Amino acid sequence: MNDLAALRSAYSKHRAEEEEAKVPEASVVMPNSMTGSAAGAAHSGRGQESSQFATPAFSATGEEPLGLYIHIPFCARKCPYCDFNTYARLEPLYEAYTQALCREMGRWAARLAGRTVHTVFLGGGTPTVLNSGQLKCILELVHDRFALAADVEISCEANPGIEDRGQFALLHSLGVNRLSMGVQSFQEEELGFLGRIHDAEDALRAYEAAVDAGFANINLDFMFGLPRQSVTAWHDSLDKALDLAPRHVSLYSLIVEPDTPLAHWVETGQTPAPDDDMAAEMYETAMSRMGEAGYEQYEVSNWARGAGYVCRHNLLYWRNQEWVGVGPGAHSHMRLPSGLRGESIGDLPFKSGDACDGAERSGSPAVAVRWSNRKGVQGYIKRVGAGESPVDFHEGITAEVSMGETMMLGLRLVREGVPLARFEAMHGQPLADAFGPSLDRLQEEGLLESDGERVRLTGKGLLVGNRVFSEFIA
C-alpha cells in the first residue's frame, strides 16, 4: 500500500468499522496509517491536552467495561460502495431474524450474568428498517436480561429516508440515548452517486425528527474523497452539518472496496478512481473547520463537541477492551479468563481460561479470544433456531499479539494515545518492558512522544503511521 492509499484507508468508514467496530478476522490487526499533509494537520494543536474534555476512563464504577454489539443486517437498498454484511430485499426474514437474534441475545445474557454492560450498539445495516414491534423486542430484552450500567450508552444507527419520526420516538422511549445517522453528503449529485435512498432535505428532516424525539447525542456521518467531488462541495456539506451543531461528527474517506459495484465502475472506467491528493486536502481543511467550530478530534475520523459526547462504544474497540457481538458476521473479543459464567463459554468451541486452538498452535497460551458468527442471514436463523452455535470462526490471541493490538488501536486516539497505566493494568507488564527497544528507537526518530503518562504519535509519526505500527506487530 502506498502512502496515499494508506491515507485513504485510514479515514475510510469501512476500514474503521472493520478494524474497530466489527473488528478483525485476521490474527493480527493491520494498522491504518496517516500520511501526507493531512496527517500533519491532524497533529496540529496536539501539544496541549484537551481543553474541553478527556475521553472517559475505564468506567464509572472502576469495573472493566463491556460492550454489546447487535447487528441488524438489513438495508432498504444496498449502496454501491458498501461491502458490509448487509442485505436489501430481505423484508420477509425480518421477523424470523428478530426471533433468532433475541434467542442468541438471551443465551449471552445468561453467559454474561454478573458482568455489567456499559455500552450497547445497535448497528448494521439500518436498524430502523425493523418495525416497532421488532425493535421493541430487541431493546426490551436488552433492558430485561442484561445488567446495564446506570450510565449505559445505547447507540442506534439510522439512515435518512426511512420513516423516522415514529421510530426515533420509540427508540428514545426504549432507552436509546445516542443516534448515529448516515447523512454522507448534502449535495444531491453526490447522494445520487453514492446510491443513497435519501436527499439532502430528507437528512435535514431526519435530524430534526431526532432532536424532536429527545435525542441530545446525535452523530452525523459524512464521506469525502468521492470521485468528481469538489473541495467547494465538500466545504458546503461540512458547513451545513456544522449549522446543525450535532454533538458528534464522523468523517470518512470513500474507499473502493473489492467486489462492489463501485469497484466495477472504476475498473471499467465508468467512474474515475478517487483522487488521493484531493482527499488529503479535504481531510486537512475539515480538521481546521471542525476545530474552529469547537469540535475536538479524539480519533482519526471522529470529532465530539462537549464533555460526554465521544462514542464510548467505539472507545472499547480502540482501547482493545471487551465486547460481545450478536447477529450474523458479528465479531466478539474477550480476555481470558473471561469471567463468563460456568466452566466453558456456553456452546462456544473453547473453554474459559484455557488456551484455544490458534494460540496453542503458536505454542503460547491465549490471553484473549475473538470469534465471529457466520455471515449469511438465513443460515444464522436456521442455526440459532435449531439451538446450534452461530459461531464459525475463533482464535486465541497470545500476550504478544494482544499487546501489539493495544498499541496499534490505541495510537489511533490522537490525544489519548496509549496510557502507560492502562497498558500495564491490561497486560501485566509495563509498556517499556514489552516494547522498550522499539519505543526508544521510535522516540529517537521523533515518531512517538511520551509525557510520562502516555505514548502517542508525534506529527512526524502520523506521517509514517504504518512504519510505527509495524514495530508492534509480532
Options 35, 134, 155, 159; binder of ligand SF4; rule CB under 6 A: 159
- Report if residue 253 touches ligand SF4, rule: CB under 6 A: no
Options 78, 145, 235, 394; binder of ligand SF4; rule CB under 6 A: 78
Q: Which stretch binds ligand SF4 (CB under 6 A): 80-88, 101-109, 361-369, 421-429?
A: 80-88
Nearer to ligand SF4, 28 or 76 (CB): 76
Options 7, 41, 75, 334; binder of ligand SF4; rule CB under 6 A: 75
Sheet holding 454-457, edge to edge: 418-419, 454-457, 448-450
Helices within 11-156 (DSSP H only) = 13-16, 36-43, 94-111, 132-145
Options 7, 34, 82, 366; binder of ligand SF4; rule CB under 6 A: 82
Nearer to ligand SF4, 18 or 284 (CB): 18
State in angstroms the smallest separation of the CB of 254 from ligand SF4: 11
179-208 binders of ligand SF4 (CB under 6 A): 182
State in angstroms the smallest separation of the CB of 291 from ligand SF4: 27
Q: Which stretch binds ligand SF4 (CB under 6 A): 2-10, 71-79, 287-295, 388-396?
A: 71-79
Number of other residues whose CB lies within 10 A of the CB of residue 157: 20
Grid cell listed for 213: 424525539
State in angstroms the smallest separation of the CB of 129 from ligand SF4: 9
- Report if residue 160 touches ligand SF4, rule: CB under 6 A: no
Exposed/middle/buried for 410, CB within 10 Å: 0-12, 13-18, 19+?
A: buried
Long-range CB pairs of 374-383 (<8 Å, 24+ gap) are: 374/328, 374/329, 375/85, 375/328, 375/329, 376/328, 377/73, 377/87, 377/90, 377/93, 377/97, 377/328, 378/93, 379/328, 380/97, 380/100, 380/327, 380/328, 381/93, 381/96, 381/97, 381/99, 381/100
Q: Which stretch binds ligand SF4 (CB under 6 A): 72-80, 257-265, 278-286, 345-353?
A: 72-80
The CA-based angle 71-316-208, given to 5 degrees, is 60
Nearer to ligand SF4, 86 or 98 (CB): 86
Three-state secondary structure call for residue 85: coil
Total residues binding ligand SF4 (CB under 6 A): 11
Amino acid letter, 38: A
Nearer to ligand SF4, 79 or 141 (CB): 79
347-386 binders of ligand SF4 (CB under 6 A): none
Three-state secondary structure call for residue 27: coil
Options 10, 39, 70, 79; binder of ligand SF4; rule CB under 6 A: 79
Q: Which residues contact 254 (CB under 8 A, 6 or more apart)?
A: 8, 12, 81, 223, 224, 225, 226, 227, 274, 279
- Report if residue 311 touches ligand SF4, rule: CB under 6 A: no
- Report if residue 127 touches ligand SF4, rule: CB under 6 A: no
Q: What is the CA radius of gyration of the chain?
A: 21
Q: Which stretch binds ligand SF4 (CB under 6 A): 3-11, 89-97, 118-126, 295-303?
A: 118-126
Options 11, 69, 84, 193; binder of ligand SF4; rule CB under 6 A: 84
Nearer to ligand SF4, 325 or 461 (CB): 325
Sheet holding 248-253, edge to edge: 296-299, 302-304, 248-253, 218-224, 178-184, 147-158, 116-124, 66-72, 322-326, 331-335, 366-373, 391-398
Q: Which stretch binds ligand SF4 (CB under 6 A): 24-32, 81-89, 100-108, 362-370?
A: 81-89
Nearer to ligand SF4, 126 or 155 (CB): 126
Distance CA 430, CA 423 (A): 7
- Report if residue 220 touches ligand SF4, rule: CB under 6 A: no
Three-state secondary structure call for residue 150: strand
- Interface residue list for ligand SF4 (CB under 6 A): 75, 78-79, 82, 84, 86, 124-126, 159, 182
